[in-house]
Structure 1
Amino acid sequence: MRLREIRESQNLSVPKLVELSGVPRRTIQDIEKRGDCLVSTALKLAKALGVTLDELCSEKQD
């Protein structure tokens, strides 16, 4: 899960991503720590970030 990497590359704070996605702050923090989440949550985050689900869920790009 590349959530933190993508969020930071877009200069988005966690509170701003909460606003854009409707996903609770704690959930975003947990996803960034654990690296996994429900597909429904991942879809909301991908849409808010303007990336595909595949881009969001893929392993880190080298």
Structure 2
Amino acid sequence: MRLKEIRKAQKLSVPALAELSGVPRRTIQELEVRNDGRISTMIKLADALGVSLDELCRDLPADSNSK
């Protein structure tokens, strides 16, 4: 998952993302470590970050051409 990478690229702190998304700070912190969460939570975070769910959850950047 690219949650931390995208959050940092947008210069958002965990508390700021929590406020934007309505997802608790602790949940965001846990997701950045364990890469596993409810789909409804992931959708809220993707919406708050302005990215697709696929972009948020993929392991590599969307423009990567690795096979």
TM-score of the pair, normalised by structure 2: 0.89
Q: Count how many residue pairs are aligned between Structure 1 and Structure 2.
A: 62
TM-score of the pair, normalised by structure 1: 0.95
Identity of aligned residues (%): 65
Extract structure 1 runs of 4+ deviating beyond 6 A: none
Larger radius of gyration: 2
Task: Flag the structure with higher helix content.
Answer: 1
Q: Deviations over 1:15-58 (max 9, x none)?
A: 00000000000000000000111000000000000000000000
Give the deviation of 1:60 after TM superposition: 2.7
- The gaps in structure 1 that reach 5 residues or longer are none
Greater relative CO (CA pairs within 8 A, separation 6+) = 1
